[in-house]
Structure 1
Amino acid sequence: MNKEKKRRERRDIGAALRRWGKILENNIYSFRYMWHGSKGYFFASVANAVINGLIAPLVLLLNRRLYNMLGSDRPMFLNALYIIAGIAAVTVVSWLWNLLSSTYIMPKLTEQLHMHVQTDLFEKARMIELEMYDDTEFYNDFILAMQYADAYATGTVNNFTNLMSNLIGFSGIVALLAYIDSGTMLVMVASAVISMLIGTKKQKINLQMNEKHAPIMRRGSYVNRLFMLPDYAKELRLTDISECIFRDYEKTISEHIGVTRRYKTKDALLGALSTLNSIGVYIAVVIMTLYKFAVLGTVSIGDFSVIVNANISVGSRLGSLVGSFSNLPAQSDQIDRVRALMDYKPSYRGGTLPAPHLESLELKNVSFSYFEGGEVLHDVSMKISRGEKIAVVGYNGAGKSTLIKLIMRLYDPKSGCILLNGVDAREYETESYRGRIGAVFQDYRIFAATVAENVLGDRYDDSKEGTVLEALHRATFDDKLAELEGGINTMLTREFDEKGTNLSGGEEQKIAIARVFAGDYDLIIMDEPSAALDPMAEYALNKQIAAFAEDKTVIFISHRLSTTRHADRIYMFDSGRVVECGSHDELMRQNGRYAEMFTAQAENYIRGKC
């Protein structure tokens, strides 16, 4: 039994050492990052810590001398004034520095540091493979990392400097108390140990509560978005789905309350224990000091004032010191999550070769499945040559949009490969490869930016006005553009500008299509490019696309099979497989799935159902 107990103790000690080793490693990592991001923030924080840490023991020391002088038989008035002036000077200097620091220095440096961290995190977020968003555990960690970003930016330095400030103040006061009365000091140190243990336990409980809250808060945020975004406004008003959403939201709130109550009850009990500890040490110190002053006469009036005031100050310092120290494990866990995102390496392989102009694009036995899901594409093979116009058709869920994402390397195949000019696409530098492709997605997005910025993005400046206007003309956006008071400088959406313009679905789709017209791409991908357009607008747009893409390779997905008649080759997908391939006439002669779909749609058009 004794041997087993010793083994457990050794394991516990080893685990604790590894834990604190990890805490030290994470904080060093964070310090290096912060040092690189803003040296000024570090120096200003240290200056705050030193100045604020020295104030309390210095004022107590001056007060002790003042009270001892006033308690003597013949107090020296002039010397007392000097001490009072010294106390006033220390207080004023401290106040001026804190005012300057909090009003001018720290806000500017803090914003710089936050910007540095957020920019790095946004860059990392752009690198995450889309399939990782389907991994619930990863996505929860990702959300937590983004939430912890601001705390990560300043939290490590702030916690360290708070620890430094309180340690300086606490050490100065304890040194003064040890000089005056070592017994009082020992009582306060014992209280400090108890407070530290309680604080560490409270931090652990709060961290566990935050982890339990993360998936619950994500569900709550989803409901908030449903009722905030205009995308869902019509459905919420015209269907009864809101009742179902309300029930789910009530369940979410109930779960949140349950988790909070469970952990906050433990936190409250520990808080009560901490308060009893603080009250107990205060009463004990006052009684001890009063006895030594009034009965034994071993402490002076100045010593008595220092001990009583220090008791209050030490309680505050102890709380802050213990809080800063107890924050280290929680801070380390936060750093760990942000660090995991900062150090994240995409699993897809990007090469170093610059992507050449497209001569051929080939898929060889490509299969793909989403995270923890069944196969979406199975053994797909197809070859596309430069200048060909390819149509991809099939029923919903056949894998068409997934195919496009694989071609663009938003995902990588689980098996098989994609070849550009006979070379595995993974050998090419990712941004260079994607730069050869222009795409309009079915779920395109319009940003809260100007028309020009939505078309060209960060590449836009006044010299490119002609490019934007030409792209909008090709996208048949001329009539709407003429109505916009600010022209291509009109702000889209009213997210940040109440004078912004909200476009119709068809108009937004034309903006998305103009993005492709504005670029110099070898391969153009159109995923339902005319879904939001009426037949006449679709006809005009198809003519523009045909003229623009005459010498380019085009892949388009469309449920309106009228657009497939002029394709060089049509791939019919069903359940993730290519079941038919050929030109429109060839597939109609085969009288297979494509012919069945085309005929049914043509009949619906004739009957006025489409």
Structure 2
Amino acid sequence: MTKEKPKYGFMSNTLFAVSTLWHCDRSILFYIFGNVPVILLLPLCSVYLPKVIVSAIEDSKAPMYMVTGVLFITLSMLILSVLQQFIAARMELHHQKVMSYMKATVSKKAMNVSYEVIDRPSTQVMFKKVFEMIQNGEEEGLQAMPILFATLLGNILGFTVYTGILSTLNPLITVLIIASTFITFFVNKAINKWVFKNRDNWLKLDVKLAYLTYKSGSFDCAKDIRLYHMKQWFGDVFKKFMAKRIKWTVTMQGLYYLGNGVEALFVLLRDGFAYGYLIYLIWKNTISVADFVLYFGIISGFSSWCMEIIKSFSKANKINFNLCDIRSYLELQEDTTSTYENKIRTSTLDETAASCVASNPMPCQIELENVSYCYEGEDTPTLKNINLLIKPGEKIAVVGANGAGKTTFVKLVCGLYTPTTGTVKVNDCNSTAYDKQTYYNLFAPVFQDVRLLPMSIVKNITLCDQDQVDEARLLECLSLSGMDEVVAKLPDGLDTLLVRDINEKAIQLSGGEQQKLMLARALYKNAPIMILDEPTAALDPIAENAMYLKYNELTAHTTSIFISHRLASTRFCDRIILIENGEIVEIGSHEELLALGQKYAKMFEIQAQYYKEQEEEDEHEESIC
């Protein structure tokens, strides 16, 4: 989401970062701020070392005087250098701990946040952005702000000390260096503002490029890529997005080069004047050689302090924006109950809703009253004025063309989406009156997109730890779904791992086997409402019909909603709802809608003709073979 101003100020974000780190790993703060004396003293020792040597030679001091001074300074530098390396090494270890903590926090947030929010493309872009910041935490993320604050503190102390020394030479030099530094700062600030304002443009491209990269190496796509010669397609699309990404990179780097050019110009003018003035003073014998060496180093060091301060402020601007994004993400709207913790807060459950669940546990009645839903950024509602009463134990089918609004309908009923207008009721209670987790427990959905977890089959079905598994119910669900036949053929049985992308020992289930597993999962949940959102879309019509009949047989005592674009698969339902352009246009049983002879009947006739022709073609091919 593009913003012109940061949502939070520098100090607010600094306090947020420090308090979060204190909660996560307070040791890192001691290392961060313990580095401040090193930042100040190490350069100061480097400046004074040549002065001590030159001064001893110039004043004809005893060799022991020079040796003592040199040893003291070099020993101090050695101790400071060792301390600096020790702090750096320790901080690297603590960075990993903080990064793991923040990744867990962001992932937990993603699972707790309202589905309606996480489903938005803008949220997905924000998620990617935040994860990248966490991955590079010491430079761009949470740790960066206190590190920067400590570095800035050390630089300001160094600037103050060097200013005191330079003021004894000529205050004009100090003013010139500070003025040139501020000009450079404002140039860099303007560049950073442009980067912040436009970065979402290339982050969207990064999301697409990352998706293409992942899919090109994904095991799920490997067969299609080879058999359908998709390598060229992947390459062309990747080049298209990469060209746009490079264009943004070139523009951004051009601005950075401009900033560096302005900085180099003022460094040349500033240092040229300062060093020229020093040469003039030594030529006039106004200062000693030792003082010349000292001031030469001080001017160089002072310029470095100024530039570091400018870089710190410039970087602070960028990090401040980053922390605003992190905080904005962590403040996204959450469900009433933490789905990550999987706790049911019955204390927050409305008493009326609680009584509805208790008095009518199975099956449930569902009612939609004037329900409309419009996606974020859209002007036209996806669903409009839906009025529907689903009786307890009734089986209905929601059919329609792709994009008609069937999946949106399901998400509204499940509570994943909140209606823009209207209400969804379960057992005469508004869905918003329920505690969110309690409401989710009413549904056992099987969606079209099967997402298997990289765990064992038993965990994919029960979604709980081994000691919490109801063995009797598990075996019953395996038998009812037909998954027991699949498990019986596997050497490791229920302990067989899934998702080969993660584990080499895992297996790859076929489409039909995946559907059996999903059915077993839905049955194991034992919820009063079953929802099937085109879970068999990848199967052929005969296999889909058989699977739907299986679902129908096993859900005799539940309220069931079947979603399909194949009308023949849902003939067994009590009622069929035809949705077109977001509205219910026809409703009735299969026979009633055919007798009506309107849109449903025409769609059914067209599909039946298509499948008949397809069947004849298959028979013809078999006869040739």
After TM superposition, the score normalised by the length of structure 1 is 0.84
8 Å Cα contact 1:476/1:541 also seen in 2: no
Is 1:401 equivalent to 2:401 in the alignment? no
Q: Where does residue 91 of structure 1 map in the other structure? A: 77
Q: Matches of 1:95 and 1:185 in 2, distance apart?
A: 29
Q: Closer, same or farther in 2 for the Cα pair 1:19/1:388, shift >3 Å?
A: closer
8 Å Cα contact 2:544/2:569 also seen in 1: no
Q: Where does residue 168 of structure 1 map in the other structure? A: 157
Q: Matches of 1:218 and 1:373 in 2, distance apart?
A: 26
Q: Matches of 1:592 and 1:208 in 2, distance apart?
A: 53
Q: Where does residue 381 of structure 2 map in the other structure? A: 375
8 Å Cα contact 2:52/2:70 also seen in 1: no
Q: Closer, same or farther in 2 for the Cα pair 1:472/1:373, shift >3 Å?
A: farther
Shift in Å, 1:404 = 0.7
Q: Secondary structure at the match of 1:370?
A: coil
Is 1:115 equivalent to 2:100 in the alignment? yes
Q: Matches of 2:8 and 2:194 in 1, distance apart?
A: 21
Q: Where does residue 313 of structure 1 map in the other structure? A: 301
Q: Matches of 1:484 and 1:27 in 2, distance apart?
A: 55
Q: Closer, same or farther in 2 for the Cα pair 1:420/1:164, shift >3 Å?
A: same
Deviations 1:171-197 (A, max 9, x none): 333334445665654454344334433
Q: Closer, same or farther in 2 for the Cα pair 1:182/1:131, shift >3 Å?
A: same
Gaps of 5+ in 1: 1-15
Q: Secondary structure at the match of 2:444?
A: strand
8 Å Cα contact 2:445/2:532 also seen in 1: yes
8 Å Cα contact 2:6/2:320 also seen in 1: no
Shift in Å, 1:562 = 5.2
Q: Closer, same or farther in 2 for the Cα pair 1:534/1:173, shift >3 Å?
A: same
Q: Secondary structure at the match of 2:525?
A: coil
Q: Where does residue 536 of structure 2 map in the other structure? A: 530
Q: How does 1:444-523 map to 2 (within 5 A)?
A: 444-457=450-463, 459-464=464-469, 466=471, 470-523=476-529
Q: Closer, same or farther in 2 for the Cα pair 1:513/1:19, shift >3 Å?
A: closer
Q: Matches of 1:539 and 1:154 in 2, distance apart?
A: 56
Q: How does 1:58-137 map to 2 (within 5 A)?
A: 58-61=45-48, 64-77=51-64, 79-103=65-89, 105-126=90-111
8 Å Cα contact 1:471/1:517 also seen in 2: yes
Q: Secondary structure at the match of 2:145?
A: helix
Is 1:581 equivalent to 2:570 in the alignment? no
After TM superposition, the score normalised by the length of structure 2 is 0.82
8 Å Cα contact 1:399/1:575 also seen in 2: yes
Q: Where does residue 369 of structure 2 map in the other structure? A: 364
The worse-fitting range, judged by mean Cα deviation, of 137-146 and 388-397 is: 137-146
Q: Closer, same or farther in 2 for the Cα pair 1:347/1:65, shift >3 Å?
A: same
Q: Matches of 2:205 and 2:416 in 1, distance apart?
A: 29
Shift in Å, 1:547 = 5.4
Structure 1: which amino acid aligns with 2:278?
A: T
Q: Closer, same or farther in 2 for the Cα pair 1:502/1:76, shift >3 Å?
A: same
The worse-fitting range, judged by mean Cα deviation, of 518-527 and 508-517 is: 508-517
8 Å Cα contact 1:509/1:532 also seen in 2: no
Deviations 1:411-443 (A, max 9, x none): 122222101121110121222211221111012
Shift in Å, 1:159 = 1.7
Q: Closer, same or farther in 2 for the Cα pair 1:111/1:177, shift >3 Å?
A: same
Q: Closer, same or farther in 2 for the Cα pair 1:319/1:474, shift >3 Å?
A: farther
Is 1:45 equivalent to 2:32 in the alignment? yes
Q: Matches of 1:498 and 1:480 in 2, distance apart?
A: 20
Gaps of 5+ in 2: 339-347, 619-625
Q: How does 1:401-420 map to 2 (within 5 A)?
A: 401-420=407-426
Deviations 1:537-592 (A, max 9, x none): 66775565455433222222234555534433333333333333334444455455
Q: Closer, same or farther in 2 for the Cα pair 1:505/1:316, shift >3 Å?
A: farther
Q: Matches of 1:51 and 1:454 in 2, distance apart?
A: 54
Is 1:335 equivalent to 2:323 in the alignment? yes
Q: Secondary structure at the match of 1:153?
A: coil
Q: Closer, same or farther in 2 for the Cα pair 1:530/1:259, shift >3 Å?
A: closer
Q: Closer, same or farther in 2 for the Cα pair 1:558/1:157, shift >3 Å?
A: same
Q: Matches of 1:373 and 1:290 in 2, distance apart?
A: 72
Q: Closer, same or farther in 2 for the Cα pair 1:232/1:19, shift >3 Å?
A: closer
Deviations 1:18-52 (A, max 9, x none): 98983444444444444433322222211123333
Q: Closer, same or farther in 2 for the Cα pair 1:66/1:21, shift >3 Å?
A: farther
Deviations 1:220-251 (A, max 9, x none): 34443453445555655566887676555444
Shift in Å, 1:141 = 4.7
Q: Matches of 2:533 and 2:71 in 1, distance apart?
A: 78
Deviations 1:73-122 (A, max 9, x none): 23250x4343333223323322332333333x223322232233333333
Q: Closer, same or farther in 2 for the Cα pair 1:398/1:349, shift >3 Å?
A: farther
Q: Closer, same or farther in 2 for the Cα pair 1:280/1:498, shift >3 Å?
A: farther
Q: Where does residue 323 of structure 1 map in the other structure? A: 311
Percent sequence identity is 24
Structure 2: which amino acid aligns with 1:374?
A: T
Q: Closer, same or farther in 2 for the Cα pair 1:189/1:586, shift >3 Å?
A: closer
Q: Matches of 1:386 and 1:445 in 2, distance apart?
A: 30
Deviations 1:335-372 (A, max 9, x none): 22222222223699997437523532111122223331
Q: Matches of 2:148 and 2:114 in 1, distance apart?
A: 34
Q: Matches of 1:265 and 1:529 in 2, distance apart?
A: 50
Q: Secondary structure at the match of 2:387?
A: strand
Q: Where does residue 12 of structure 1 map in the other structure? A: none
Shift in Å, 1:307 = 2.2
Q: Where does residue 9 of structure 1 map in the other structure? A: none
8 Å Cα contact 1:450/1:490 also seen in 2: yes
Q: Secondary structure at the match of 2:61?
A: coil
The worse-fitting range, judged by mean Cα deviation, of 515-524 and 482-491 is: 482-491
Q: Matches of 1:292 and 1:592 in 2, distance apart?
A: 101
8 Å Cα contact 2:529/2:559 also seen in 1: yes
Q: Matches of 1:232 and 1:267 in 2, distance apart?
A: 40
Shift in Å, 1:163 = 1.1
**CA-based RMSD:** 3.7
Q: How many residues align?
A: 590
Is 1:255 equivalent to 2:262 in the alignment? no
Deviations 1:517-552 (A, max 9, x none): 221312111122333446786677556545543322
8 Å Cα contact 2:445/2:530 also seen in 1: yes
Structure 1: which amino acid aligns with 2:129?
A: L
